[in-house]
Structure 1
Amino acid sequence: MKIGLVQLSVTEGEIEKNRAHIRELALAYAKREVDLLCFPELCVSGYDFSRAADSQDENLFFSALAEECNTAILAGTCVKEGHAYYDVACIWDEAGKLLGEYKKIHLWDKECEFFTRGEELILVPYRGWKIGMLICADMRFFEISTPLANMGADIIVYPSAWIDGYKELFHLCARMRAAENQIYTAALNRASGDVRYCGGTAVMGPAGDVLCALEDDAEGYVEMLLSKQEIRAARDRLEWDSLKLPQIYKKYETYKYADKDLGNYGLTTVKSL
């Protein structure tokens, strides 16, 4: 599967400007015949929540764009359900059909004031690949990436908005999630715009190595041809699964930290499409 990652510069709250820019880039990169074209977290409305509240057709925009480009698209959007808003990642196929929607679980900083936390993991089958989606701060938590791998994920894509100064940690987390699960991870960050981000969009291989990466925070694009054979080879070289001892791990599924019971981080449901 050939994946394309757009390190996009987003102008916070400038919805029409961002849409026009996304469409321009999508039409250009779709000509490269990628199987899946990916855009980062909250790439239409950004973190201007007063504008995001009025931007409730973002999924329709991407559905129409995927059909226009004849290319599957993964993107981070803002979605309203009832009175609740969610920070989500979605995949649409080349006909514009919504294949799956993931709601961010680990909200960060001011996100907690606007968004409702998600509680489900999702795995999307597409062209023989099983694609997991997590968002930004979710990359820190193996507690949700490992279940996706156990469900059969071949790759986890992380549309993100990691701020300036954290590129090394951004890459470290992405490499660890890839290595410990022996799958691909795609760390898809924002480029700097009116807010500084650390950039560094990259694809990590199932052995935890950096396969390709953008070195700075400028707007850019990177693509990678992924191989199931590479996943099998990594698992043959390092047989981590044979060393797992779930009978021991289960003893510590609920634990305490700083006298606050964190349980399982609020994850209540796991499902696969």
Structure 2
Amino acid sequence: MKLALAQIAIEGGDVAENVRRATEAIESAAERGADLVALPEIFNVGYFAFETYQRNAEPLHGPTLTRISDLADEHDIGVLAGSIVEDLSETTDETPAEEGLANTSVFFDRDGNRAAVYRKHHLFGYESAEAEMLVPGESLGIAEFEDVTVGMTTCYDLRFPELYRSIAEAGATLVLVPSAWPYPRVEHWRILTQARAIENQCFVAAINGSGSYEDATLLGRSSVYDPWGTLLAGTGDEPEIVIRDIDPERVTRVREEFPAWHDRRR
């Protein structure tokens, strides 16, 4: 499976422009033969544009996710729309949640169908208004795509390894991590992503944004780690699309060769 990480430039509060850039990234990934493309955290609004969250919040059937669904269907490609500010008060489907706003990622299959919804579990409070403005999710995000079981987490979740163990125990062999990770915590970004791959012996792909808003600058560096924790692909801090082959059988081979996964005690 060819996985594309779309590290797009994000303009805080400019939903129309950000969705246009996401559209171009999806179309470019499809042209380059990708099977699945993943977008960054709050790609349409911009993570740090907190003052615009309320007016730019959308339900799952809102214009941003409808556009992404249409693109997945049109280009025959899976898409992780990761994430938007969801207005939970307007969500009336099979994924009930509290009222308020949530940081919500949606996985679309090749036909544009909604295959999984994940609401960020761990809300960031350090120099961030996220924990004050949003409500956390409660359920795991797991999607079946092609021959890969995909797990979904978001940014700050990287600091909580128990979530990743739960996802791996649910069968995930690839975990996608849409993010809005800023400078200066470059080493945290690199080490935590690599550690989640090593300890769960699975692929972990973290998709960051690019650009600045007020005094926050996203560090980019979207990356894919294999089940050994080896860096397979990575970027700098400028906009870029990275495409990498993901072999789900490699997870099985690594776990058989070095059986730490089987030796764990609960």
**TM-score above 0.5, yes or no:** yes
State the partner residue of 1:80: 87
Aligned residue for 1:22? 22
For structure 1, which runs of at least 5 residues remain unmatched after alignment? 247-273
Match of 2:153 in 1: 134
Task: Name the SS of the counterpart of 2:218 in structure 1.
Answer: coil
Rounded to whole Å, the distance in 1 between the matches of 2:54 and 2:65 is 14
Distance in 2 (CA, whole Å) between partners of 1:182 and 1:74 is 22
Percentage of matched positions with identical amino acids: 26
User: Which residue of 1 is the match for residue 223 of structure 2?
Assistant: 202
- Residue 70 to residue 241, structure 1, CA distance change in 2 (3 Å): closer
What TM-score, normalized to structure 2?
Answer: 0.88
Q: Is the 8 A contact 2:11 2:211 kept in 1?
A: no
Residue equivalent to 2:95: none
Partner of 1:59: 65
Asked whether the 8 Å contact 1:171–1:187 carries over to 2, the reply is: no
Contact 1:90 1:98 in 2 (8 A): yes
2:75 — aligned with what?
69
Q: Tell me the secondary structure at the aligned position of residue 60 of structure 1.
A: helix
RMSD (Å), alpha carbons: 1.4
What amino acid does structure 1 have at the position aligned with 2:200?
N
Distance 1:49 1:213 in 2: 28
Alignment of 1:96 with 2:107, yes or no, is no
Instruction: Give the aligned length.
Output: 245
Report the secondary structure of 1:224's partner residue: strand
CA distance in 1, matches of 2:86, 2:25: 23
Work out which of the two has the higher radius of gyration on C-alpha atoms and give 1 or 2: 1
Q: Whole-Å Cα distance in 2 between the matches of residues 21 and 165 of structure 1?
A: 25
1:72·1:91 contact (CA, 8 Å) conserved in 2? yes
Shift of 1:50: 4.0
Measure how far apart 1:84 and its partner are: 1.1
Give secondary structure in 2 for the equivalent of 1:232. Answer: helix
The secondary structure found in structure 2 opposite 1:119 is coil
Q: 1:234 aligns with which of 233, 251, 254?
A: 254
Check conservation: 1:2, 1:225, Cα contact below 8 A.
yes
What is the distance in 2 between the residues matched to 1:16 and 1:123? 29
Alignment check: 8 A CA contact 2:3 2:246 kept? yes
Counterpart secondary structure, 1:192: strand
Shift in alpha-carbon separation, 1:61–1:210, aligned structure 2, 3 A: same
Query: What stretches of structure 2 of length at least 5 have no aligned partner?
Result: 90-98
**1:243 Cα deviation after fit:** 2.2
* CA distance in 1: counterparts of 2:25 and 2:141, whole angstroms: 27
Question: Could you give the per-residue CA deviations for residues 230-259 of structure 1, whole angstroms, max 9, x where no partner exists?
Answer: 21221122111332221xxxxxxxxxxxxx
State the alpha-carbon separation in 2 of the partners of residues 95 and 241 from structure 1.
34
Q: Note the C-alpha offset of 1:53.
A: 2.4
> Residues 15-54 of structure 1 correspond to what in structure 2 (within 5 A)?
15-47=15-47, 48-54=49-55
Amino acid at match of 1:179: I
Q: Given residue 203 of structure 1, which amino acid in structure 2 is its aligned partner?
A: V
1:251 aligned partner: none
What is the DSSP-based 3-state SS (H/G/I as helix, E as strand, rest coil) of the residue aligned with 1:46? coil
Give the Cα separation in 2 of the matches to 1:108 and 1:24.
Answer: 29
Amino acid at match of 2:6: V
Deviation at 1:23, TM superposition (A): 1.2
